Protein backbone atom coordinates (compact mmCIF):
# COMPACT_ATOMS: atom_id res chain seq x y z
CA UNK A 1 0.00 0.00 0.00
CA UNK A 2 2.71 2.49 1.00
CA UNK A 3 4.77 1.71 -2.11
CA UNK A 4 1.75 2.29 -4.35
CA UNK A 5 0.69 5.53 -2.65
CA UNK A 6 4.16 7.04 -2.70
CA UNK A 7 4.54 5.94 -6.30
CA UNK A 8 1.67 8.20 -7.37
CA UNK A 9 2.82 11.26 -9.33
CA UNK A 10 3.50 14.29 -7.17
CA UNK A 11 1.03 17.15 -7.39
CA UNK A 12 2.18 20.38 -9.01
CA UNK A 13 0.51 22.71 -6.50
CA UNK A 14 1.11 25.86 -8.53
CA UNK A 15 -0.22 24.27 -11.70
CA UNK A 16 -3.23 22.78 -9.91
CA UNK A 17 -4.25 26.08 -8.35
CA UNK A 18 -3.67 27.97 -11.60
CA UNK A 19 -5.87 25.55 -13.56
CA UNK A 20 -8.61 25.70 -10.92
CA UNK A 21 -8.49 29.51 -10.98
CA UNK A 22 -8.53 29.60 -14.78
CA UNK A 23 -11.54 27.31 -15.06
CA UNK A 24 -13.29 29.42 -12.44
CA UNK A 25 -13.24 32.43 -14.76
CA UNK A 26 -15.31 30.73 -17.47
CA UNK A 27 -18.53 32.59 -18.25
CA UNK A 28 -21.72 30.87 -19.38
CA UNK A 29 -24.71 32.11 -21.35
CA UNK A 30 -28.13 32.71 -19.81
CA UNK A 31 -29.62 29.48 -21.19
CA UNK A 32 -26.67 27.50 -19.89
CA UNK A 33 -26.95 29.27 -16.53
CA UNK A 34 -30.58 28.20 -16.19
CA UNK A 35 -29.55 24.61 -16.89
CA UNK A 36 -26.64 24.85 -14.45
CA UNK A 37 -28.86 26.21 -11.67
CA UNK A 38 -31.36 23.37 -12.02
CA UNK A 39 -28.56 20.82 -12.21
CA UNK A 40 -26.91 22.25 -9.10
CA UNK A 41 -30.20 22.13 -7.17
CA UNK A 42 -30.63 18.48 -8.13
CA UNK A 43 -27.11 17.74 -6.84
CA UNK A 44 -27.49 19.19 -3.35
CA UNK A 45 -27.30 17.09 -0.22
CA UNK A 46 -29.37 19.52 1.86
CA UNK A 47 -27.66 19.32 5.21
CA UNK A 48 -28.31 19.97 8.87
CA UNK A 49 -25.63 18.71 11.25
CA UNK A 50 -26.05 20.73 14.41
CA UNK A 51 -26.31 19.74 18.04
CA UNK A 52 -29.58 21.66 18.20
CA UNK A 53 -31.26 19.67 15.39
CA UNK A 54 -34.81 18.60 16.19
CA UNK A 55 -37.29 16.30 14.44
CA UNK A 56 -39.27 19.38 13.44
CA UNK A 57 -36.25 20.98 11.80
CA UNK A 58 -35.45 17.79 9.92
CA UNK A 59 -39.05 17.46 8.69
CA UNK A 60 -38.99 21.08 7.52
CA UNK A 61 -35.73 20.50 5.69
CA UNK A 62 -37.16 17.37 4.08
CA UNK A 63 -40.19 19.33 2.89
CA UNK A 64 -37.87 21.92 1.36
CA UNK A 65 -35.80 19.21 -0.34
CA UNK A 66 -38.90 17.77 -1.99
CA UNK A 67 -40.40 21.13 -2.93
CA UNK A 68 -37.66 23.78 -2.83
CA UNK A 69 -39.81 26.58 -4.29
CA UNK A 70 -43.53 26.25 -3.52
CA UNK A 71 -44.26 29.04 -6.04
CA UNK A 72 -42.71 27.07 -8.92
CA UNK A 73 -43.38 23.36 -9.14
CA UNK A 74 -40.87 22.99 -11.99
CA UNK A 75 -38.02 23.46 -9.51
CA UNK A 76 -36.02 20.22 -9.21
CA UNK A 77 -35.84 18.30 -5.97
CA UNK A 78 -32.54 18.06 -4.18
CA UNK A 79 -30.58 14.81 -4.26
CA UNK A 80 -30.66 14.05 -0.54
CA UNK A 81 -31.13 15.31 2.98
CA UNK A 82 -28.07 14.74 5.18
CA UNK A 83 -28.52 14.35 8.94
CA UNK A 84 -27.05 12.70 12.02
CA UNK A 85 -27.87 8.99 12.51
CA UNK A 86 -30.43 9.63 15.24
CA UNK A 87 -32.40 11.79 12.79
CA UNK A 88 -32.26 9.32 9.90
CA UNK A 89 -35.59 7.69 10.74
CA UNK A 90 -37.29 11.09 10.92
CA UNK A 91 -35.84 12.05 7.53
CA UNK A 92 -36.79 8.67 6.04
CA UNK A 93 -40.40 9.03 7.14
CA UNK A 94 -40.62 12.58 5.81
CA UNK A 95 -39.04 11.68 2.46
CA UNK A 96 -40.82 8.37 1.85
CA UNK A 97 -41.82 8.01 -1.79
CA UNK A 98 -40.29 11.33 -2.83
CA UNK A 99 -37.16 10.06 -4.55
CA UNK A 100 -35.00 12.25 -2.31
CA UNK A 101 -32.36 10.14 -0.57
CA UNK A 102 -31.60 10.00 3.13
CA UNK A 103 -27.90 10.54 3.79
CA UNK A 104 -26.52 10.03 7.27
CA UNK A 105 -23.11 10.89 8.61
CA UNK A 106 -21.53 8.15 10.69
CA UNK A 107 -18.29 6.73 12.13
CA UNK A 108 -18.06 9.27 14.96
CA UNK A 109 -18.54 12.27 12.68
CA UNK A 110 -16.87 14.75 12.44
CA UNK A 111 -13.66 13.75 14.23
CA UNK A 112 -13.75 10.03 13.50
CA UNK A 113 -12.18 9.38 16.89
CA UNK A 114 -13.72 6.15 18.14
CA UNK A 115 -13.07 2.43 18.24
CA UNK A 116 -13.94 0.57 15.06
CA UNK A 117 -16.80 -1.36 16.67
CA UNK A 118 -18.37 1.94 17.74
CA UNK A 119 -18.04 3.30 14.21
CA UNK A 120 -19.59 0.19 12.70
CA UNK A 121 -22.48 0.30 15.17
CA UNK A 122 -23.02 3.92 14.10
CA UNK A 123 -23.30 2.77 10.48
CA UNK A 124 -25.62 -0.14 11.30
CA UNK A 125 -27.93 2.15 13.25
CA UNK A 126 -28.11 4.66 10.40
CA UNK A 127 -28.83 2.02 7.76
CA UNK A 128 -31.45 0.36 9.98
CA UNK A 129 -33.10 3.77 10.44
CA UNK A 130 -33.51 4.17 6.69
CA UNK A 131 -30.32 5.82 5.43
CA UNK A 132 -29.76 5.33 1.70
CA UNK A 133 -26.28 6.81 1.89
CA UNK A 134 -23.58 6.86 4.56
CA UNK A 135 -21.07 9.72 4.86
CA UNK A 136 -18.14 8.36 6.88
CA UNK A 137 -14.99 10.16 8.02
CA UNK A 138 -11.53 8.66 7.80
CA UNK A 139 -9.18 8.49 10.77
CA UNK A 140 -6.99 11.46 9.92
CA UNK A 141 -4.64 10.68 12.80
CA UNK A 142 -3.96 7.25 11.33
CA UNK A 143 -3.51 8.68 7.85
CA UNK A 144 -1.15 11.47 8.90
CA UNK A 145 0.97 9.05 10.94
CA UNK A 146 1.38 6.83 7.89
CA UNK A 147 -0.97 4.01 8.94
CA UNK A 148 -2.56 3.86 5.51
CA UNK A 149 -3.55 0.21 5.77
CA UNK A 150 -5.58 0.98 8.91
CA UNK A 151 -7.49 3.68 7.03
CA UNK A 152 -8.05 1.33 4.09
CA UNK A 153 -9.26 -1.53 6.30
CA UNK A 154 -11.67 0.73 8.20
CA UNK A 155 -13.24 1.87 4.94
CA UNK A 156 -13.56 -1.76 3.85
CA UNK A 157 -15.29 -2.63 7.12
CA UNK A 158 -17.67 0.32 6.88
CA UNK A 159 -18.48 -0.54 3.28
CA UNK A 160 -19.41 -4.07 4.34
CA UNK A 161 -21.82 -2.68 6.96
CA UNK A 162 -23.49 -0.35 4.46
CA UNK A 163 -25.33 -3.12 2.64
CA UNK A 164 -27.29 -1.45 -0.16
CA UNK A 165 -26.47 2.06 1.08
CA UNK A 166 -23.93 4.01 -0.95
CA UNK A 167 -20.77 5.05 0.88
CA UNK A 168 -19.24 8.53 0.77
CA UNK A 169 -15.76 8.75 2.30
CA UNK A 170 -14.85 12.12 3.83
CA UNK A 171 -11.15 12.99 3.93
CA UNK A 172 -11.32 16.36 5.73
CA UNK A 173 -8.94 17.79 3.15
CA UNK A 174 -8.30 20.87 5.28
CA UNK A 175 -6.49 18.65 7.78
CA UNK A 176 -4.44 16.60 5.30
CA UNK A 177 -1.85 19.39 4.88
CA UNK A 178 -0.74 18.71 1.29
CA UNK A 179 -2.20 18.06 -2.14
CA UNK A 180 -0.12 14.88 -2.32
CA UNK A 181 -1.94 13.63 0.78
CA UNK A 182 -5.31 14.43 -0.78
CA UNK A 183 -4.35 12.41 -3.85
CA UNK A 184 -3.21 9.49 -1.67
CA UNK A 185 -6.39 9.61 0.42
CA UNK A 186 -8.49 9.64 -2.75
CA UNK A 187 -6.85 6.46 -3.99
CA UNK A 188 -7.18 4.75 -0.62
CA UNK A 189 -10.89 5.55 -0.58
CA UNK A 190 -11.48 4.40 -4.14
CA UNK A 191 -9.51 1.18 -3.76
CA UNK A 192 -11.42 0.38 -0.55
CA UNK A 193 -14.79 0.60 -2.31
CA UNK A 194 -16.04 4.15 -1.78
CA UNK A 195 -18.99 5.09 -3.97
CA UNK A 196 -18.10 8.77 -3.48
CA UNK A 197 -15.06 10.61 -2.24
CA UNK A 198 -15.87 13.76 -0.30
CA UNK A 199 -13.74 16.74 0.64
CA UNK A 200 -14.88 17.80 4.06
CA UNK A 201 -17.18 17.67 7.04
CA UNK A 202 -17.90 21.40 6.88
CA UNK A 203 -16.71 21.62 10.49
CA UNK A 204 -13.15 22.91 9.97
CA UNK A 205 -11.68 26.18 8.72
CA UNK A 206 -10.79 24.97 5.21
CA UNK A 207 -13.41 22.88 3.44
CA UNK A 208 -14.10 22.40 -0.28
CA UNK A 209 -11.95 24.51 -2.58
CA UNK A 210 -11.75 24.51 -6.37
CA UNK A 211 -8.19 23.16 -6.19
CA UNK A 212 -8.82 20.24 -3.86
CA UNK A 213 -12.00 19.33 -5.74
CA UNK A 214 -10.15 19.49 -9.07
CA UNK A 215 -7.54 17.12 -7.67
CA UNK A 216 -10.21 14.65 -6.56
CA UNK A 217 -11.94 14.89 -9.94
CA UNK A 218 -8.65 14.00 -11.60
CA UNK A 219 -8.39 11.02 -9.26
CA UNK A 220 -11.82 9.60 -10.12
CA UNK A 221 -11.18 10.20 -13.83
CA UNK A 222 -7.88 8.32 -13.64
CA UNK A 223 -9.40 5.56 -11.50
CA UNK A 224 -12.12 4.90 -14.08
CA UNK A 225 -9.53 4.89 -16.86
CA UNK A 226 -7.52 2.29 -14.93
CA UNK A 227 -10.34 0.09 -13.59
CA UNK A 228 -13.54 0.88 -15.47
CA UNK A 229 -15.23 1.78 -12.16
CA UNK A 230 -16.84 5.21 -11.79
CA UNK A 231 -16.69 6.95 -8.41
CA UNK A 232 -18.59 10.08 -7.40
CA UNK A 233 -17.23 13.29 -5.89
CA UNK A 234 -18.80 15.50 -3.23
CA UNK A 235 -17.31 18.86 -2.29
CA UNK A 236 -18.77 20.06 1.00
CA UNK A 237 -18.53 23.19 3.10
CA UNK A 238 -18.09 26.78 1.97
CA UNK A 239 -20.06 26.55 -1.29
CA UNK A 240 -22.71 29.20 -0.72
CA UNK A 241 -23.51 31.00 -3.97
CA UNK A 242 -24.72 30.20 -7.46
CA UNK A 243 -21.45 31.57 -8.79
CA UNK A 244 -19.55 29.09 -6.60
CA UNK A 245 -21.71 26.19 -7.78
CA UNK A 246 -21.27 27.05 -11.45
CA UNK A 247 -17.49 27.17 -10.99
CA UNK A 248 -17.55 23.66 -9.56
CA UNK A 249 -19.75 22.37 -12.39
CA UNK A 250 -17.24 23.76 -14.89
CA UNK A 251 -14.50 21.91 -13.02
CA UNK A 252 -16.49 18.69 -13.30
CA UNK A 253 -17.16 19.08 -17.01
CA UNK A 254 -13.62 20.07 -17.94
CA UNK A 255 -11.84 17.53 -15.72
CA UNK A 256 -13.87 14.36 -15.21
CA UNK A 257 -16.29 14.91 -18.08
CA UNK A 258 -20.00 14.96 -18.78
CA UNK A 259 -20.59 11.54 -17.24
CA UNK A 260 -20.14 13.14 -13.82
CA UNK A 261 -22.67 15.91 -14.49
CA UNK A 262 -25.37 13.88 -12.80
CA UNK A 263 -26.57 13.73 -9.17
CA UNK A 264 -25.64 10.06 -9.10
CA UNK A 265 -21.98 11.02 -9.50
CA UNK A 266 -21.60 14.57 -8.19
CA UNK A 267 -23.07 16.24 -5.12
CA UNK A 268 -22.79 19.48 -3.22
CA UNK A 269 -22.76 19.21 0.57
CA UNK A 270 -24.47 22.46 1.51
CA UNK A 271 -27.12 24.20 3.55
CA UNK A 272 -27.21 27.85 2.43
CA UNK A 273 -26.44 27.20 -1.27
CA UNK A 274 -30.00 26.19 -2.12
CA UNK A 275 -31.50 29.56 -1.20
CA UNK A 276 -29.08 31.45 -3.42
CA UNK A 277 -29.78 29.09 -6.32
CA UNK A 278 -33.52 29.62 -5.83
CA UNK A 279 -33.14 33.41 -5.81
CA UNK A 280 -31.08 33.32 -9.00
CA UNK A 281 -33.60 30.96 -10.59
CA UNK A 282 -36.45 33.33 -9.75
CA UNK A 283 -34.49 36.22 -11.22
CA UNK A 284 -33.96 34.37 -14.51
CA UNK A 285 -37.65 33.46 -14.61
CA UNK A 286 -39.15 36.84 -13.71
CA UNK A 287 -36.44 39.28 -14.72
CA UNK A 288 -36.52 40.77 -11.24
CA UNK A 289 -33.98 40.33 -8.49
CA UNK A 290 -35.35 38.20 -5.72
CA UNK A 291 -34.35 38.35 -2.08
CA UNK A 292 -34.11 36.21 1.04
CA UNK A 293 -37.70 37.05 2.01
CA UNK A 294 -38.86 34.97 -0.95
CA UNK A 295 -37.25 31.73 0.19
CA UNK A 296 -37.63 29.77 3.39
CA UNK A 297 -35.12 30.09 6.20
CA UNK A 298 -33.46 26.74 6.94
* DSSP letter assigned to residue 101: E
135 among known catalytic residues? yes
Question: Which residue in 122, 135, 139, 195 is the catalytic one?
Answer: 135
> Strands, DSSP E only, in 129-189?
133-137, 166-170
Question: Which residue in 101, 119, 159, 198 is the catalytic one?
Answer: 198
Residue 107 has a CB neighbour count (10 Å cut-off) of 31
33 among known catalytic residues? no
> Which element (helix H / strand E) includes 154?
helix 148-162
Contact 151, 140 (CB under 8 A): no
Q: What whole-number distance in Å separates Cα of residue 81 and Cα of residue 63? A: 10
Q: What whole-number distance in Å separates Cα of residue 139 and Cα of residue 188? A: 12
Peptide bond into 110 cis (omega under 30): yes
Contact 76, 43 (CB under 8 A): no
Active-site positions read: 135, 198, 234
Amino acid sequence: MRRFLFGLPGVDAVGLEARAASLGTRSIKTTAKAYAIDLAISMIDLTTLEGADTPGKVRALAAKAVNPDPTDRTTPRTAAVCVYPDMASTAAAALAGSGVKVASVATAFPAGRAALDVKLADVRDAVAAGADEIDMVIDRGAFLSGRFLKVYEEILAVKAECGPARLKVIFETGELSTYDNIRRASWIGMLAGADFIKTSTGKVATNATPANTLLMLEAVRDFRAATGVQIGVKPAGGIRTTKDAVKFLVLVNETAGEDWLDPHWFRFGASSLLNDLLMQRQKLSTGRYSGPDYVTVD
